[in-house]
């Protein structure tokens, strides 16, 4: 970066334009012959690979049988600083399952991707995954429901929770 002094009264701009074109042409040739070193990413054909720890779009995990892992305890919603999680709980027909969410929604336009929901969850039912793209044409697309959070095509049938019910019951949790 160069600093242009106010005293510079040079109004002859052609050398400046030619210098700029020379630099542009130099980078063009360099990029054509050395694509691996190219700094520009040709998005969306090329996507940046973030760290596996990147906190992107939310995932609701599932149990071994594919059912939603969430127990509708509301800890994530209580801890969410943006108040963007809305859960409706219901009793489960299986006596061993105390509660489950019949509805779980996250308003992605309010979410600040802080990860507090993930931290608060006692059964690894919610995670912030590596996806970061949230395209959509109107506001309603950004309220992610339970089906999108747990079973969207990118998740290939669902991501299994690390907390197993049988292990949990054995531990008396």
Q: Which of 62, 117, 149, 163 binds ligand SF4 (CB under 6 A)?
A: 117
Residue 143 sits in the site that holds ligand SF4 (CB under 6 A): no
- In the bound complex, what is the minimum distance in angstroms from residue 66's beta carbon to ligand SF4? 16
Q: What token pair was written down for 125? A: 């039912």
Task: Out of 57, 59, 62, 71, point to the residue binding ligand SF4 (CB under 6 A).
Answer: 71
By the rule CB under 6 A, 149 interacts with ligand SF4: no
The full DSSP string for 40-109 is: ---TTTS-----TT---SEEE-B-TTS-B------HHHHH-TT--EEEEEEE-SSTT--EEEEEEEEETT
Please, what's the b/e burial string for 146-170 (b: 16 or more CB within 10 A of its CB; e: otherwise)? bebbbbeeebeebbebebebeeeee
163 binds ligand SF4 (CB under 6 A): no
Residue 59 touching ligand SF4 (CB under 6 A): no
> Residues marked as binding for [4Fe-4S] cluster?
70, 73, 76, 80, 111, 114, 117, 121
Residue 7 CB, shortest distance to ligand SF4, in Å, is 51
């Amino acid at each position: 970066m160069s600093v242009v002094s106010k005293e510079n009264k040079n109004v002859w701009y052609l050398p400046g334009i030619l210098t700029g074109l020379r630099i542009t042409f130099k980078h063009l040739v360099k990029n054509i012959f050395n694509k691996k070193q190219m700094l520009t990413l040709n998005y969306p054909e090329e996507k940046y690979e973030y760290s596996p720890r990147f906190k992107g779009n939310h995932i609701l995990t599932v149990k071994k049988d594919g059912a939603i892992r969430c127990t509708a305890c509301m800890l994530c919603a209580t801890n969410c600083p943006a108040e963007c999680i809305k859960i409706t709980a219901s009793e489960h027909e299986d006596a061993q399952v105390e509660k489950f969410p019949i509805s779980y929604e996250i308003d992605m336009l309010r979410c600040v991707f802080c990860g507090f929901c993930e931290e608060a969850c006692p059964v690894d039912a919610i995670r912030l995954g590596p996806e970061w793209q949230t395209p959509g044409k109107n506001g309603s697309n950004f309220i992610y429901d339970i089906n999108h959070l747990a079973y969207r095509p990118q998740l290939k049938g669902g991501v299994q929770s690390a907390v197993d019910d049988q292990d949990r019951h054995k531990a008396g949790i």
